[in-house]
Amino acid sequence: MLYDLVCKTRSFRRFKEGEPIDMETLRYLVDLARLGGSARNMQPLKYLLVNGPGLKAKIFHHLGWAGYLREWSGPKEGERPAAYIICLLDTRLSNEADCDLGIATQNLLLGACEKGIGGCRIASISPGLRDVLGLDDHLQILLVIALGKPAETVSLDEQESGRDIKYWRDTDEVHHVPKRPVQEITAGEYA
């Protein structure tokens, strides 16, 4: 059911690095991204698909992981992403695409989840990634999506109204994601 799939589609940051994701699967995920809504139907997003070891290793060092987990500097070797999809904006077509990006990446991550693949959107990207990728001037990096078979458990927690929303890890290394209750986010109901 859709509700269960949405609940399972969490951000995963530790992966079974040795379990590859083939290019055909990455292309399928980009196809899902492509089919989302787009302002003015301009479709200014472009994607780089990466599952080769050399480039993956270079990309990893430009990413910022889980800012709330201060003592954790990111996944260790063996738990790093098996693949990346890098979301780019073609600035010849539009100068911003934040809504498109949200729709496209949620389509992509839902499809990944259905295939047993976990992912994480990463917006914390160091400027050096541009040089690593050798991008043309009209392409701007918006997000990196890290992908792989999950090697961690993520718990979706119903948070009490007004309480802290920072994600955290318990002593069993379970990652907890507090979500505000529906009552808190409902600004009004007009029956």
Ligand X SMILES: Cc1cc2nc3c(=O)[nH]c(=O)nc-3n(C[C@H](O)[C@H](O)[C@H](O)COP(=O)(O)O)c2cc1C
Binding site for ligand X (CB under 6 A): 10-11, 13, 64-66, 120-124, 167, 177
C-alpha span between 115 and 25 (Å, rounded): 9
Distance of alpha carbon 165 from alpha carbon 103, whole angstroms: 23
Q: How many Cα atoms within 13 Å fall on the side-chain side of residue 50?
A: 21
Please state the closest distance from residue 116 (CB atom) to ligand X, in A.
16
> Are 51 and 111 a contacting pair, CB within 8 Å?
no
How far is it, in rounded angstroms, from Cα 176 to Cα 156? 6
In terms of CB distance, is 138 or 179 closer to ligand X? 179
Give min distance, CB of 187 to ligand X, in A: 21
Q: Which is nearer to ligand X, 69 or 93 (CB)?
A: 69
Nearer to ligand X, 39 or 177 (CB): 177
* Alpha helix positions (H), the chain: 2-8, 23-34, 53-60, 98-114, 129-133, 182-185
Residues 105, 110: Cα–Cα separation, whole Å:
8
CB of 10 or CB of 80, closer to ligand X: 10
Nearby residues of 122 by Cβ (< 8 Å), 6 or more positions away: 63, 64, 65, 143, 144, 145, 146
Q: How far is the CB of 154 from ligand X (least distance, A)?
A: 6
Closer residue to ligand X (CB): 23 or 124: 124
Q: Which residue has the tokens 């992912």?
A: 119
CB of 23 to ligand X, least distance (A): 25
CB of 189 to ligand X, least distance (A): 24
